[in-house]
Amino acid sequence: MDRRDFLTTATLASGAFALSGCNENNRVAIDYSKHPKKSDDVKSVHINRGRKTTIKLATSWPGHFPIMGVGVERFAKRVFEISSGSLEIKIYPKNTLIPALAVFDATSSGQIDAFHSGPYYWKGKNSAFSLFSGIPFGFTAEEVNSWMLFGDGLKLWREYYAKYNLYPLLGGNTNIQMGGWFRKPIKSLADMQGLKMRIPGLGGEVMAKLGVNPILLPAGEIYTSLERGVIDATEWVGPALDIMMGFYKVAPYYYSGWHEPGSVLELTFNKHSWEKLASEHQAMIEVASSETNSNMTYEFHAQNIKALQKLQDLNVKLLEFPTEVTQAAKIALAKVLDEQSKANQDFQTVLESIQTHLALSKAWSDVSLDYFLNNR
């Protein structure tokens, strides 16, 4: 029996357990007192054949946005398929129901059931949240997934998000990102002084130490701000999405990056909504989110390698930051991490877990991947 058959069988299994009707917000109201417990602490609720559960999910991306937005749409379709239509996830792209950067609060409060975005956008809630996306000069996509799934990452993430009534799942990874588009070339550290740059997360904190003014802007405002000189530079993701945004038309200098070597995206649920879901539905969502996490990571790679060739055909200048900028960034990162650790115990706890895992990963990469790439 393959995974789809197994999950479909689970969906249609027992009709002995029933969910009560959906409320006005399309969330299932469950009377746990009518259902047996799996243990003293975990309640078992199963799917009632023929009853549909609907989840409202808002994103921080425009509708049908390549890779990220489309990836969430595929996730919703996949859940619908493997649940045989008993679980529907309605997607609300940014600003159709919730503003792009308000999805965290809307899900936390129960206004919606779930969202798709990036953890570093919420560092104002808890600075430790930025670490779950990754850190400059840190985890690659493969490394951060290994820490999340087989280290302490997911455990810590869920522990801290629970304080905001949230339950996160891995929802993709951008893979390694480029360093950004600049209206003027960066020839020295002095050229960074006073630059207004759209850049979030810890990368923005590091840039601030280098004299840059980091600015947080949603996707729809970046190009216009760059064109009008409101900002001098922007990072976004990588060639596949950057070429679509048209940044090369107004900022022709494109730099390799170190600020986001493998940034995590999230499928995060309102914790109460999650706990009300039938156990089979939870399992289906977990399976589909794992699939989404892998597919999005690989699709970014596949699309980036094609888009890079197109950018080269457009005579975009592909550059590296001067050595003094990169070295100054490493020093700045150390200061940022030290300051944040002293200010927030949660940050320090997560950072220590990352550093332990990353040290082991570096040792392995040096004798395996590094050797291979240098000799390929």
Question: Rounded to whole angstroms, how far apart are CA atoms 59 and 371?
Answer: 40
Residues (pLDDT < 70) of the chain are: 1-45, 48-50
Confirm if 256 and 318 have CB atoms less than 8 A apart: yes
Question: Rounded to whole angstroms, how far apart are CA atoms 69 and 66?
Answer: 6
Region 3-174+263-302: CATH code = 3.40.190.170
How many angstroms separate the Cα of 18 from the Cα of each of 28, 36, 44, 279? 11, 12, 11, 12
Question: Rounded to whole angstroms, how far apart are CA atoms 42 and 45?
Answer: 10
Beta strands 253-255 and 317-319 are parallel
Instruction: Look at residue 45 in the predicted model and tell me its pLDDT.
Output: 64
Instruction: Look at residue 42 in the predicted model and tell me its pLDDT.
Output: 46
Q: What is the side-by-side order of every strand in the sheet holding 264-270?
A: 87-92, 53-59, 114-117, 264-270, 166-173
Specify the 3-state DSSP secondary structure of 334.
helix
Six token digits for residue 18 = 């029933």
pTM score, whole prediction: 0.85
- With residue 172 as reference, give the H or E element that holds it: strand 166-173
Confirm if 18 and 48 have CB atoms less than 8 A apart: yes
Six token digits for residue 306 = 């094609």
Question: Rounded to whole angstroms, how far apart are CA atoms 323 and 189?
Answer: 9
Domain-wise residue ranges, the chain: 3-174+263-302
Q: What is the pLDDT of the chain when averaged over all its residues?
A: 89
- Please name the residue that has the structure tokens 């090369």: 248
Encode pLDDT of 251-278 as tens digits: 999 999 999 999 999 999 999 999 999 9
